[in-house]
Every structure is written in C-alpha cells, then in structure tokens.
C-alpha cells in the first residue's frame, strides 16, 4: 500500500476525462492511502490556468462524504500542480521536465506514470515529445492510454506502430475502464473458483449469452465526437467485447498478466467477423412526448447522419467449448433504463414431465446495484406439484453492505502504478478485436446499413425482440420479476 514512489503526470489535465475520472480516482487512491503521500501529480495541458483554477478543475467531480474527506482533499491538493504548454513543442516539454526533476528531488520518486487523457489528434505528438524530453532509462516509465485506439484494423495498427516505436509494450497500459469494474473482475472467480458454474460453462449446457449495456442519456453535447465513432466503436468493440472474452476464455495458467491476456487473445481469434445478418442497428429520435431531442436534433451531429446509437450484434466463438452458442452483444444510448449485465441462458430441460418451465439463467449485473442471481425453477410451496420460477440472489447491497466498491479508474490506476498489466488491453488483443468488427464497420461507414429509428427512452429499435429470439434467447412462459428490480 502506497510504498512506491512515483510522479503522476496527467496530460490533457484541463479536459473532461481528467476532471471526471482521472483526478477523482487519484484522490480516491490518496484518501484510502494507496498513494504514497509524497507522490506529486503534475497536470499538463494547453489551457492557461493558475493554481486556484486548476484546483477547482481537479475537485469539480470529487464527492466529499465526511470531514475526513475534506481534510484529505486539502492535503491532496498540496501534491497537485499544473503547467500549461503546447502538445508539440519540445521547449514546453523541457519546461515540464524541469518541473518533474524538481518535484522528484523533493519526493525521491524514481517512477513516472504518464496519464494520456488526450484527444487522438495530439496523441502521437505528445508521446513523441515525452520520449524526447521526459524519458530516461533510469526512471521507470509507464504510459496509460485511452481509447479510441484507432478507427479500424488499419488505423489501429498504424497507431500501435507509431506508439510502439516510442514506448515498449511493457511501458504501455491501454485502458478499458470496464476491466476495472468490480463485477467484471469477479468473472474469473465465478467461473474458475466454483465447480457448480465451471462445469456447466459450455455449449452442452448454455444456449445463448446476452451482454447488455443500456444508458438512459443520449449523446448530450458529445454528439459531434460521437458521430465519428458510433456506438459500436464507443462501447461494443471494447467494453462489451472485453466482458465477452472474460465470459468465454479458457482458464489461464495463472493470474499473471501475460497468462491472462494470452487466453483472452486466443478466444478472440476464434471469432469470425460479424456478418450483415447478425447485426441490428438503431438511432434514437425524439422521445414519445417530444420533450427529449432526437440524435439528429443535436446541432453538432451532421445532418442526415446514419451513425448508430444502438447496436445488437451476434458473435460466435468457433472453438470446442462454444461452437454454435450465440453471444449477443447489445448496447445503446437514450434507452428506457441504465444498466449493464451479463445473462447466461441455459438450454431447456430435456425432461417432459413438467409444464410451463422457464430456462435457468445466471445473471451478473455489472451496474447499477452489483449482483449475481440465478434464475431457477422451484416447487411452488403448498399442496400439489406446480413449478414456480424463483432465484438465488447475491445482491451486493444486502450481502456486502459494509464494503466499498472502488471506482473502475481507481482500480486500474493502482494496477498501472504497481506494474500489473492483467486488466489492460494488449496490442495483439486489440488487433484481434478490430478484426472482428472492421468489415461490418466499413459497411456502416459507407452508409450501407440504415439504422432503425427508435424513440428516446424506449427499449430500442423495432425488431430487437425478433433479433434476440432468432439467436436463441427465449422468454420463459412464466412471468418473472427479479425482486430487486423490474425484469430485463
């Protein structure tokens, strides 16, 4: 805990990501004594800011829950300083270097963590300047980088090559913040530390897998940015695919990061590119009451854009364990609810002695309200032999009510500080992921697929029920509502 001595440099410190995620996560680590109290945090960006303005920016999204938190924040801010500079000027990075040398003299730090909270257009420029001006073999250097990692296989490879010429794979930490989420990290334990789950985790028992990401909000001001990418690049190709690999991969030899990542790459390589038949796209319009704007009403979105804000895609993994089992990934903005979950649906029971059965399901609710629950058939209490659908429910709020679930970014920054790569995306993994999505993305980019409109605040585009049913998902005959929440 907090024994390493490093300097954290946040590039793009005046931006949204730094304000919303990076600084609050660094404060969370500091508050819980995971950061060495001598650590210095140096912000760097183009905007000119004095210390007071910078501190406002750093604290904007930090939630203080107690007097202790307030005191901790005061001390935390003493560790933070800011320097403005251009993203492509060596002289500015030399000034940054002088600052770093100075703070390292005070702290004795011999490690540097560069957090690249930057737009893609300046990414390589900054990496180049860092390599030329702020890099030395005596100092352990780590670089956290954020998506987008390119737009397709080709641009991702170009980026990887350019970055690879500057920093080694060992030094690079590609963030996918879903890998820092508690329930995503729980996946390996659920699968590989439980005989009851481990032994049924295959095509003999499982009919289909649904991985769902829903957000209630639309693009809200990010429309211009979002439009270049669309929901597949924004969420599916990274967050949902990462979840899929953890659900589907073979057990790694150990928890060592390369062992884990070897297995993840392997399972991705068994997935052929998504076909036109296996994709359903949507784009949200105005809400039914007309109060919420449609995607195309956003002034920053190009007129007539066909960019999908909703996508459902079915992936198949052609290996011994999974051949024939559809993995349906679904994600969308401006929907009826906010949640991310993994739903493993089992096959029908062969036995015909009971009527009106529903399939077993294991549901891992990533957010909100972390939970694992198993839907199962039970005898309805009382006389007779009627079946009733019920559940085994591990809801974190009731079972682990004293535990604090760390923010994904806290978990990941700490991993990077400790030099642990297991929850970061390796270069070949990224390559394998792009191979699956690039052909269909090309079709979408060329305007070959028209997204189906859906109203803001609804379940998604028409045809969704048929789409998931075509890929095996069956709603049970009995009505079921998870007591904690309404049904999916």
- C-beta of 139: minimal distance to ligand BG6 in Å? 30
Place of tokens 């003999």: 204
Contacts by 48-54 with C-beta closer than 8 Å and gap 24+? 48/84, 49/14, 49/82, 49/84, 51/81, 51/82, 54/13, 54/80, 54/81, 54/82
Pick from 440, 182, 190, 173: which is nearest to 312 by CA?
440
Positions in 55-74 near ligand BG6 (CB under 6 A): none
Name the 3-class secondary structure at 226.
helix
Q: How far apart are CB 28 and ligand BG6 at their closest, in Å?
A: 15
Cα gap 391→379, rounded to integer Å? 12
Catalytic residue of the set 239, 421, 471, 485: 239
239 belongs to the catalytic site? yes
Q: Which residue has the tokens 């990887």?
A: 160
Determine, following the binding rule CB under 6 A, whether residue 92 of this chain makes contact with ligand BG6. Answer: no
Please identify, using beta-carbon distances, which residue of 215 and 263 lies nearer to ligand BG6.
Answer: 215
Contacts of 15 (CB under 8 A, 6+ apart): 45, 117, 118, 119
Residue with tokens 């300047």: 129
Closest CB 310 distance from ligand BG6, rounded Å:
13
* Sheet with strand 172-174: strands edge to edge: 80-84, 40-45, 6-11, 111-116, 140-145, 172-174
Angle 438-440-239 (CA atoms, 0-180°, nearest 5)?
Answer: 65
Q: Give the list of residues 6+ apart from residue 346 with CB closer than 8 angstroms, or none.
A: 200, 205, 206, 207, 359, 360, 361, 362
Q: For residues 76 and 33, what is the distance between their CA atoms, to the nearest angstrom?
A: 11
Among residue numbers 154 through 193, which ones bind ligand BG6 (CB under 6 A)? 177
Q: Which is nearer to ligand BG6, 92 or 146 (CB)?
A: 146
Q: Which residue's Cβ lies closest to ligand BG6?
A: 234
Q: CB–CB of 436/240 below 8 Å?
A: no
Q: Per-residue x/- mask for ligand BG6, residues 332 to 361, rule CB under 6 A?
A: ------------------------------
User: x/- string (CB under 6 A) for ligand BG6, residues 454-473?
Assistant: --------------------
CB hemisphere CA count around 312 (13 angstroms): 23
Of 237 and 358, which CB lies nearer to ligand BG6 in the complex structure? 237
Looking at the Cβ atoms of 135 and 213, the one nearer to ligand BG6 is 213
| CB-nearer residue toward ligand BG6: 143 or 231 | 231
The helix/strand/coil state of 28 is: helix
Judged by CB under 6 A, the number of residues near ligand BG6 is 4
234 vs 278, beta carbon nearer ligand BG6: 234
Residue among 104, 234, 415, 431 that touches ligand BG6 (CB under 6 A): 234
Which C-beta is closer to ligand BG6: that of 112 or that of 233?
233
What sign has the CA pseudo-torsion 31, 21, 417, 39?
A: negative
347 phi, psi to nearest 5 deg: -75, 170
CB 208, min distance to ligand BG6, A: 23
H-type alpha helices, 134-181: 153-166
Among 92, 104, 207, 215, binds ligand BG6 (CB under 6 A): 215
Q: At its nearest, how many Å lie between ligand BG6 and the CB of residue 406?
A: 13
Catalytic residues, by residue number, are: 239
Which residues bind to ligand BG6, rule: CB under 6 A?
A: 177, 215, 234-235
């Amino acid at each position: 805990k907090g024994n390493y001595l490093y300097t954290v440099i946040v590039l793009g410190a005046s931006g949204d990501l730094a304000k919303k995620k990076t600084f609050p996560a660094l404060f969370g680590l500091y508050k819980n004594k995971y950061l060495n109290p001598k650590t210095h945090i140096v912000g760097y960006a183009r905007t000119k800011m004095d210390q007071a303005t910078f501190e406002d920016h750093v604290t904007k999204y930090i939630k203080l829950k107690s007097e202790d938190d307030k005191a901790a924040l005061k001390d935390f801010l003493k560790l933070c300083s800011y320097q403005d500079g251009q993203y492509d000027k060596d002289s500015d990075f030399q000034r940054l270097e002088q600052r770093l040398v100075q703070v390292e003299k005070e702290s004795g730090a011999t490690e540097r963590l560069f957090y690249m909270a930057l737009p893609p257009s300046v990414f390589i420029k900054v990496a180049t300047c860092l390599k030329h001006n702020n890099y030395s073999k005596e100092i352990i250097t780590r670089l956290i980088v954020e998506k987008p990692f390119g737009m397709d296989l080709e641009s991702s490879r170009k980026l990887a090559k350019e970055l690879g010429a500057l920093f080694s794979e060992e030094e690079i930490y590609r963030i996918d913040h879903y890998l820092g989420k508690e329930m995503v990290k729980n996946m390996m334990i659920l699968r590989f530390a439980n005989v009851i789950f481990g032994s049924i985790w295959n095509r003999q028992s499982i009919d289909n897998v649904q991985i769902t990401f829903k957000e209630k909000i639309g693009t809200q001001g990010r429309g211009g940015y979002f439009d270049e990418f669309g929901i597949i690049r924004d969420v599916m190709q990274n967050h949902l695919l990462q979840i899929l690999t953890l659900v589907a991969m073979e057990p790694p030899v150990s928890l060592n990061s390369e062992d884990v990542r070897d297995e993840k790459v392997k399972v991705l390589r068994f997935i052929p590119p998504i076909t036109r038949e296996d994709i359903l796209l949507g784009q949200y319009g105005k809400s039914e009451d007309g109060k919420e704007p449609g995607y195309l009403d956003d002034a920053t979105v190009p007129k007539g854009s066909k960019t999908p804000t909703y996508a459902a895609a079915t992936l198949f993994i052609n290996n011994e364990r999974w051949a024939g089992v559809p993995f349906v990934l679904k994600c969308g903005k401006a929907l009826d609810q906010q949640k991310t979950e993994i739903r493993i649906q089992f096959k029908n029971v062969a036995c015909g002695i009971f009527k009106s059965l529903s399939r077993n399901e294991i549901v891992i609710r990533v957010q909100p309200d972390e939970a694992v629950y198993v839907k199962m058939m039970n005898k309805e209490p009382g006389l007779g032999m009627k079946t009733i659908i019920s559940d085994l429910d591990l809801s974190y709020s009731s079972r682990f009510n004293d535990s604090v679930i760390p923010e994904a970014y806290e978990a990941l920054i700490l991993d990077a500080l400790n030099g642990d790569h297991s929850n970061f995306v390796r270069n070949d993994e990224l390559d394998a992921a792009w191979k699956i999505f690039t052909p269909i993305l090309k079709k979408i980019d060329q305007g070959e697929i028209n997204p189906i409109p859906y109203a803001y605040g609804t379940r998604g585009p028409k045809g969704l029920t048929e789409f998931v049913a075509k890929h095996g998902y069956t709603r049970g005959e009995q009505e079921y509502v998870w007591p904690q929440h309404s049904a999916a």
